[in-house]
Amino acid sequence: MSGVNELRIVGFLCNWCSYGGADAAGVGRLAQPTDLRIIRMPCSGRINPLFVARTLLSGADGVLVSGCHPRDCHYAEGNFYARRRLEVFKRLLPTLGIDPGRFEYTWVSASEGQRWQTVVTTFTEQIHRLGPMPRFSPGEACVAVLAESGG
């Protein structure tokens, strides 16, 4: 991504598969974009969809969640619950006025270094296409209210 300003992307990765996968990609010296900051979680089932909401509202431009493949969860069923929650949350985004492409969830196992590289690269490109996340501007909001009240 040379010549392009970095954007802020946060990744929530499960400890057992995707974090290992990202590590494998690093050990294998696979080139990856550097926009992503990783937060290690015990399991994708630990990831509250509201983590994603809070992250997007607090300054991130994109959020990536990755866990073990379905049927491969270290805790047997954490990612099954996660899948339902995250899918519901992703579908709420259009109504919030946030592009649903700013949030993706996927599954990467500990041995899939290559797949991790593809996921990170694709997602980073996607966020760069969308650009920085729009923000509520407190200043403008005040001006709008004042203008409305004629003050």
- Told to check if 53 binds another protein by CB under 8 A, we report yes
Which lies closer to another protein via its Cβ, residue 1 or residue 92?
92
* 26, 28, 42, 70: residue in contact with another protein (rule CB under 8 A): 70
Number of residues that bind another protein (CB under 8 A): 36
How far is 42 from 130, CA to CA, in rounded Å? 30
How far is 98 from 101, CA to CA, in rounded Å? 8
- Told to check if 150 binds another protein by CB under 8 A, we report no
In the window 120-149, what residues touch another protein (CB under 8 A)? 134-138, 141, 144-145
Nearest distance from C-beta of residue 24 to another protein, angstroms:
20
In the window 81-110, what residues touch another protein (CB under 8 A)? 81, 83-85, 87-89, 91-92, 94-99, 104-107
Binding interface with another protein (CB under 8 A): 49-50, 53-54, 57, 70-71, 77, 80-81, 83-85, 87-89, 91-92, 94-99, 104-107, 134-138, 141, 144-145
